[in-house]
Structure 1
Amino acid sequence: MRHLKKYICIFLTFGFVFGLISCGQAEEEGDMEDFSSLSDAKTKSMEAVFSEDDDFSISEVKGWVSSLVLSDNNLFFYTEESGDKNIIRFYKVSKEGGTPELIAELETDDKTYMDELFLDKDENIYVTQTKWTSDERNKTSLYTLKNGKLDNEKNISKITDVSGDSWLSELYMDKSGNLVAVYDDEIKIYNQELKVVSDSEPGGYIETAGLSRDGDVVIVQMNTVDNKNVMTVKVMDPVKGNLSDEYVIDARYINRIITGSGDYDFFYQTSSGIYGYNLSDKKEEEIFNFVNSDLDYEDISDEVVESPDSIYAILSDEEDDRIVRYKKEDIKEEGRIVLTVLSQCSNNDLKERIIDYNKSQTKYRVKIIDYSNEKNAGDKIQASLDAGDHPDIYDFSDEIGHMSVNQCISKGLFEDITGYIEKDPDIRTEDIIPSVFNAMKSNGKLYFVSSGFTLQTLLAKASDVGKEYGWTYDEFKSFTQSKDEGALMFRSESKSDKLREILDGTIEDFIDWDKKETYFDSQDFKDILESCNSDLEEKVSDEEAVSEPDMIRSGKILFVNGDMTPDQIQIYNKLFKGDVSFKGYPSKEGTGTKISFGRRLAISSDCENKDGAWDFIRQFMTEEYQGNNLQTLWGVPTRQDVYEVFVDNLKSSEKKTDIYGNVYEPNNSEYSWEDFTMKLHPVTDEELDEFSSLLDSSDGRFEREARIINIVADEADTYFSGDNSLDEAVLNIQSELRALLDE
């Protein structure tokens, strides 16, 4: 909600920093569309689809619209207009639209901000306004809006301007005129005399809260149930302060609570849509799917649900905003071929591409089946795939279900798309950076597209390991065993953690998914185990703990896992005091520097409309897409032509606009990591030469094999602890993995 921006500004002034959890950490949120199976999505008529009601409009409104409130018959809102004077206008309009009534027009100074707009059951209007009285303090007042003026001022700063361990995140007014204050770990309800009439501490951090259809307070928290993090809801009685039992919500993250209507006690919103929840039968249902409605959720705010079939919101674009009404539709996909995209961790860009693609043509409709906000997403996806229920397109980064990318390829889940590129009029294999294209391929075939990459390598002090790229496993072992006991391989907590760090960059030498063979009984792997089991320290004691950068500079930590783009070369040079070697992971042959891809898209081998699937995923490999999105791409562009513009931008010492219209400022920012800080500069020719050399000499694709590595590390612990010999441990590893490869 927009009015929260004012509160956020207040708390940031006091030095609070709040983190957001995204997929993979979260990046990204989202929800699985309510289909019983993936194949069901291909045939089922689209539900939870809304479109803008063309019969609804509001005329003659000045300024940017804020804080939308719905009564039984009317909409209330205010607008903000900045210029020589800051003007706040309050409006009332029929919920059917039309010309609004101007209730009040107020002038404010540049230190005064309008926050909230409230209604009680009699449509009496209340507003909160914050005035900065100094650089560190503010005063927030509650007013009655009457006869075009703010009246009956009440200083509510004691509610809003809290300090210490508590802070206000949301403020509501119930139908009785009581204020509901949502803090980080408690709820307080104040009457009109600003006295606390009830309060409750649900235990733990409150993610968000809101009011139910009956006026109760709905509290959302992240809790642990059966050793898993889940979103839960508790309902607070506003009179007694009593809390209900927990209700588990089938979502990974909830953005906000919306007051319920119809059969639903409340609605909750995620980045994918709006869901209704009935407390009596613990039933939740998707009401409004943003992507299927061709709507970017970032473009709407202050959603108010009149009924499950009618929703009001503020729709914003770069030029203006307006109040719209969305009506539910029953859309049949007659004449359009439905293509499903399975996404384990979706992002906003993918959703925007789907929306734009669906609007751009009438032959296909792409539907996203989004698991990124699902509990136990990997289990659910794996169960569907094991049952032979496959989508048309896979969207992924490191894994699908519980399978690594290489395992998916070995199982034949992906279509070889080499022929599609060769026939494409706008994309050629020569357009892709040669080493990047080689890394994309598996056994000479191309199974996915990706618009961005980084380089993964192992860094060390050049004075220790030399400047040349690459080394064998035996050389790696000899080096680690030559260091004294005071050194650390990584800043790891245990020997198995060291092993995981090394296996991330070497795993491909020990597994062949096509042949279903593993080589953990090889001498190369034994060299790794012996390196991790050396006399090097496992972790830093509390007494001698210093910053990790300082330990790297002093040589206490031997290795750093580098995830690199051209502009990061300067950071590693500075970190190692100019004595850096981009040595690479140990390997049978090659440099040990690998290419890591971010978001990837693949066509299912079971897809019945592969031409349509290619028509959708090809856009991510076009010059237009990568060039226009150069500033938001993950890592480095995979196309050669766009890469050349990309590095030219990084080298620029003056503000410039590139050929794609991207405006670049010279990089003069500051980088900080614990006690290590440095001012960054535009990339130099020497730094670019280093990156280019690493890129050209890279020798494979960086793929995570989480299940394999977990099994290997667990069995290796028996060797590290002395319970098994080296040979016994590797034989057990081989045996454990045989069953996994036969799945």
Structure 2
Amino acid sequence: MLLCTMAFLCSCANFGDDDDRAQKTGADVYVYDFEDLGIELLKNNEYISLNYDSSGIYGLKKSNNDGHINYSFSRIKNGQTRAEEILIGSGNTRFDYLCTDNNDNFYVLRTIYPDKKGVDNINDDYEYSGKGEKKLVKYSPSGDQIWAAALTTQDAAGYIRDMAYVKEIGILTCSTEGLSLYDELTGEGKAIVSKDKGDIHGDRELLVSPDGTVYAVETDSSWKYIVYEFDTKKMNLGKKYNIPKEVPMGAKFFTGTDNDFYYIDKNCIYAFNKGDEKTRKICDLIDSAFYADNIVLLFEKSEDEYEIIADYNTASSRAFSMRKKDSQSDEKKSITIGITTSDSYVRQQVNIFNQENREYNIILTDYTENSLLGYHSAYGRLLEDMQKGKGPDILILSSYSDMCDLRSKGFLEPIDSYLRNDVEISSNKYIENIAGAIKENGKQFAIMPYFSINTCAASSEFLGDEAVSLSNYRNLCNKHNVKIQNVMGTMNFAGADILYETSGFDFIDIKEKTCDFQNYNFINLISLIREVKRAEDSDIYKPLDSNCYIENKSMLLPYVISSFEDYRIIRDGYFKSDIFFNGYPSIGGGISYIEPGMMLSINSRSEYKEKAYEFIRYFLLDEYQYSIEWGFPVYENALDLLMDKSTRARYYIDDSGKRVDTNSTITIGKREFVITPLTTSEASYMKEFICSLNKLQYRDPEIVSLISESVKPYYIGDITAEKASSLVQHRIEKYLKDNNS
């Protein structure tokens, strides 16, 4: 989303008046109550510009309907929950930036290209080599064009980076060449500041305060922020003020009334005035139990009352009011969530839960922050807390191996009885093999809302009905004239860990904590990897490209499948022939793995198990299951909907009301491939394949590292394959024994 350009890159720290906080009484000194205003701003749309003015929220909206782009001016007036939209262009027209005046007129930068390619093939307006006609355009509140002004020579020579309305004067633009001012009534423009005056690093941005004062914020030669107040009499940058030194690089600034400026990091909101040496903490978002991926907008309504727009990486943004918490209000009981993988829906649902619940608050602990490799990774930090009895009530896990480890240590609560007694869930039909795969000894310890598939595809026309395994790949290479080092296509030696993570785990019984690497199948596995290394080390080495499957130079394509459309990409994009899913070569054939998207569990020592279940159940319900766009939902009806959707052509309605079919494209090597709909039989085959899987991928980086280190001497010729397999056996046996407690 283009809103991501407004993301806050700074890290949380306690700046300003921590001593002042210590002198105040009450834990709620920086705590606010948040209320969702019921406005869904973003859903499969992008706001190029989004802001507040005296009339409410307004934005420049870009809607992409299967390749057909529309631009609209969107406004949500104060007290309303639905947006009023005015279509201002589509086709070969592009719009950038947006500001409004005191009469609700709005101004945009418009570029008209000679053809639609000018809009389709660029991320940034100025990367397109074609000639587009750029003008600054003024529209009335109803969307009628009032004037379209040619850019100043200065703006036309560079490109505009920001613009702002100067009260009763006109539009101030900030370009790579300097500042220009356009008359409010006529649009006539003139350059007022050239680029050699300030803007050392090209990061100048324009801010407008509620009273109409315009500021320019940028960094100086020491990379410290400074701010200028625009002088409307001299028509140039006026007095310069320093911004407190603790404000980090990448901060996004907002203006206010009680405070001149605000900025937000991931966890806190701070304020300062012109000339202040320190910032003041206004709100601690974590203490307030409020979570978002980014906060992209803040508007000060009155003292201790604000409106914000929170952005989630789910193509959705929500507007909230925030008010200083009443010190006399009842304290809520805290339920904690520990996350080892980031999911925007979790943050959204936490906010919904907290607002709907008068007795409980959910507090997030993000173990992915500041995590290091090895034991001090996100999971290592979580496990340490669990072992100390300080673990969170709810656990959001990133892998099946983490869930198994916690379950074996007795830290996870079985949730079978919760699911059976939940009428809404027990009456739904979930994919049986997926539901069965997640169970351990007949019990379920986690909810897995969605999944992908890690597999290897092969050409059925090339290989016939022969599955590639660790025992037969050499024979198949000889039979089909494929070099052994090319079995896995473009996989190189540096990427060989993918075989340790998949085929390598076929030699381990995780449940029984045993392993058997001293056999010819494992030797065949490391022999294959050695052939890859030998080929790379040779003087005549020439790596394969993506055409290797079409040219029958390789047999297996490793691929993570996350949609039905991936079938078309694999079949017609890579192979151009009928395919089957062989899986990774294993002892008895090939194995395809279920790759969990995330796993939600309940701490067996939690005091709030019922409430914990009340939260995690949401991820099995219709609202979430039907929202899944990457990966496969576990609710069968939601899966069937995706299957049906994959067989139908995508389309949009053009400006004349006609239906226009369209398809997505993907680049494979140097080829652009058009993804056409699946046939009914192809979609059914994909579902049958999904319903045939029964093995979750067990990812343990420590085991992978031990295998890799143990076999390294074999690859450089220092030891035999038998010796390498013996080393692996010894080290993995010891690791499993040490971790069986």
Quickly name the TM-score band, shorter chain normalised: 0.5 to 0.7
Measured after TM superposition, the shift of residue 449 of structure 1 is: 1.0
CA shift in 2, pair 1:89/1:711, >3 Å: closer
CA shift in 2, pair 1:373/1:609, >3 Å: same
2:452 is matched with which residue? 454
1:369 is matched with which residue? 365
How many Å separate the matches in 1 of 2:610 and 2:447?
Answer: 15
2:568 is matched with which residue? 570
Amino acid at match of 2:398: S
Q: What pairs up with 1:463-542 in 2 under 5 angstroms? A: 463-467=461-465, 472-476=469-473, 478-479=475-476, 484-485=482-483, 488-490=486-488, 494-498=492-496, 500-534=497-531, 538=535
How many Å separate the matches in 2 of 1:200 and 1:359?
Answer: 44
How many Å separate the matches in 2 of 1:90 and 1:415?
Answer: 48
Amino acid at match of 1:394: L
1:561 is matched with which residue? 558
2:391 is matched with which residue? 390
How many Å separate the matches in 2 of 1:551 and 1:277?
Answer: 60
1:59 is matched with which residue? none
1:725 is matched with which residue? 720
Unmatched segments (≥5 aa) in structure 1: 6-18, 23-27, 35-42, 55-63, 99-106, 221-231, 657-663
CA shift in 2, pair 1:339/1:478, >3 Å: farther
Q: Per the alignment, in what secondary structure is the counterpart of residue 455 of structure 1?
A: strand
Deviations 1:41-69 (A, max 9, x none): xx986954344699xxxxxxxxx998657
1:267 is matched with which residue? 263
1:548 maps onto 2:545 in alignment: yes
1:130 is matched with which residue? 109
2:194 is matched with which residue? 195
2:188 is matched with which residue? none
Amino acid at match of 2:225: V
Q: Per the alignment, in what secondary structure is the counterpart of residue 306 of structure 2?
A: strand
> Which of the numbers 32, 47, 51 marks the counterpart of 1:49?
32
How many Å separate the matches in 2 of 1:277 and 1:520?
Answer: 63
The aligned length equals 636
Measured after TM superposition, the shift of residue 138 of structure 1 is: 4.0
How many Å separate the matches in 2 of 1:20 and 1:544?
Answer: 42
Deviations 1:567-590 (A, max 9, x none): 332332223222423112223447
Amino acid at match of 1:716: V
1:60 is matched with which residue? none
Deviations 1:138-190 (A, max 9, x none): 445599x9xxx999x8945644774xxxx665457999x9979587xxx9778
2:128 is matched with which residue? none
1:698 is matched with which residue? 693
1:343 maps onto 2:322 in alignment: no
How many Å separate the matches in 2 of 1:493 and 1:246?
Answer: 48
Measured after TM superposition, the shift of residue 467 of structure 1 is: 2.8
Amino acid at match of 1:701: L
Q: Per the alignment, in what secondary structure is the counterpart of residue 382 of structure 1?
A: helix
How many Å separate the matches in 1 of 2:522 and 2:606?
Answer: 39
CA contact (8 A) 1:422 1:429 kept: no
Deviations 1:117-149 (A, max 9, x none): 499xxx9x9996534465443445599x9xxx9
How many Å separate the matches in 1 of 2:98 and 2:556?
Answer: 52
Q: Per the alignment, in what secondary structure is the counterpart of residue 445 of structure 1?
A: coil
How many Å separate the matches in 1 of 2:580 and 2:227?
Answer: 63
1:58 is matched with which residue? none
How many Å separate the matches in 2 of 1:489 and 1:638?
Answer: 33
Q: What pairs up with 1:21-420 in 2 under 5 angstroms? A: 48-51=31-34, 68=51, 115-117=97-99, 129-132=108-111, 135=114, 136-139=131-134, 155-156=151-152, 158-159=154-155, 162=158, 169-170=161-162, 181=174, 193-199=192-198, 217=217, 234-235=224-225, 256-258=252-254, 267-270=263-266, 274=269, 287=283, 289=285, 302-304=297-299, 309-313=304-308, 326-329=322-325, 334=330, 336-370=332-366, 379=377, 382-387=380-385, 388=388, 389-398=390-399, 404-420=402-418
Measured after TM superposition, the shift of residue 592 of structure 1 is: 0.9
Q: Per the alignment, in what secondary structure is the counterpart of residue 704 of structure 2?
A: helix
How many Å separate the matches in 2 of 1:480 and 1:261?
Answer: 74
How many Å separate the matches in 2 of 1:704 and 1:568?
Answer: 23
Measured after TM superposition, the shift of residue 244 of structure 1 is: 12
How many Å separate the matches in 2 of 1:436 and 1:640?
Answer: 10
CA contact (8 A) 2:164 2:208 kept: no
> Which of the numbers 414, 431, 434 marks the counterpart of 2:432?
434
1:609 is matched with which residue? 608
How many Å separate the matches in 2 of 1:297 and 1:333?
Answer: 28
CA contact (8 A) 2:437 2:694 kept: yes
How many Å separate the matches in 1 of 2:256 and 2:540?
Answer: 55
Amino acid at match of 2:109: T
C-alpha RMSD of matched pairs (Å)? 6.0
How many Å separate the matches in 2 of 1:394 and 1:475?
Answer: 42
How many Å separate the matches in 1 of 2:596 and 2:414?
Answer: 18
CA contact (8 A) 1:302 1:314 kept: yes
Q: Per the alignment, in what secondary structure is the counterpart of residue 578 of structure 1?
A: coil
Amino acid at match of 2:334: V
Measured after TM superposition, the shift of residue 292 of structure 1 is: 5.2
Measured after TM superposition, the shift of residue 487 of structure 1 is: 5.4
CA shift in 2, pair 1:647/1:141, >3 Å: closer
CA contact (8 A) 1:342 1:370 kept: yes
1:40 is matched with which residue? none
How many Å separate the matches in 1 of 2:703 and 2:427?
Answer: 32
1:9 is matched with which residue? none
Measured after TM superposition, the shift of residue 217 of structure 1 is: 4.2
1:684 maps onto 2:700 in alignment: no
CA shift in 2, pair 1:115/1:291, >3 Å: farther
Deviations 1:641-677 (A, max 9, x none): 4434443443457999xxxxxxx99985444423444
How many Å separate the matches in 1 of 2:457 and 2:524?
Answer: 19
Q: Per the alignment, in what secondary structure is the counterpart of residue 472 of structure 2?
A: helix
Measured after TM superposition, the shift of residue 617 of structure 1 is: 1.0
Deviations 1:186-225 (A, max 9, x none): x9778972312445666xx97x9788999784669xxxxx
Amino acid at match of 1:49: Y
CA contact (8 A) 2:647 2:678 kept: yes
CA contact (8 A) 1:128 1:140 kept: no
Q: Per the alignment, in what secondary structure is the counterpart of residue 346 of structure 2?
A: helix
How many Å separate the matches in 2 of 1:31 and 1:473?
Answer: 48
TM-score by length of 2: 0.66
Query: Which deviates the most, 321-330 or 425-434?
Result: 321-330
How many Å separate the matches in 1 of 2:271 and 2:719?
Answer: 55
Indicate the percent of aligned positions where both proteins have the same amino acid.
Answer: 17
How many Å separate the matches in 2 of 1:89 and 1:671?
Answer: 32
CA contact (8 A) 1:455 1:596 kept: yes
CA shift in 2, pair 1:571/1:257, >3 Å: same
Q: Per the alignment, in what secondary structure is the counterpart of residue 502 of structure 2?
A: helix
Deviations 1:353-405 (A, max 9, x none): 22333344444332333456657596466335314331111223338xxx744
Q: Per the alignment, in what secondary structure is the counterpart of residue 338 of structure 1?
A: strand
1:101 is matched with which residue? none
Deviations 1:400-457 (A, max 9, x none): xxx7443333333332212222222222398321211122123332121122223322
Q: Per the alignment, in what secondary structure is the counterpart of residue 458 of structure 2?
A: strand
Measured after TM superposition, the shift of residue 522 of structure 1 is: 4.4
Amino acid at match of 1:431: K
Deviations 1:279-319 (A, max 9, x none): 99999968353995768778x85424689944355799xxx
Q: Per the alignment, in what secondary structure is the counterpart of residue 346 of structure 1?
A: coil
Amino acid at match of 1:703: Y
Measured after TM superposition, the shift of residue 552 of structure 1 is: 2.1
TM-score by length of 1: 0.66
1:224 is matched with which residue? none
How many Å separate the matches in 1 of 2:459 and 2:283?
Answer: 57
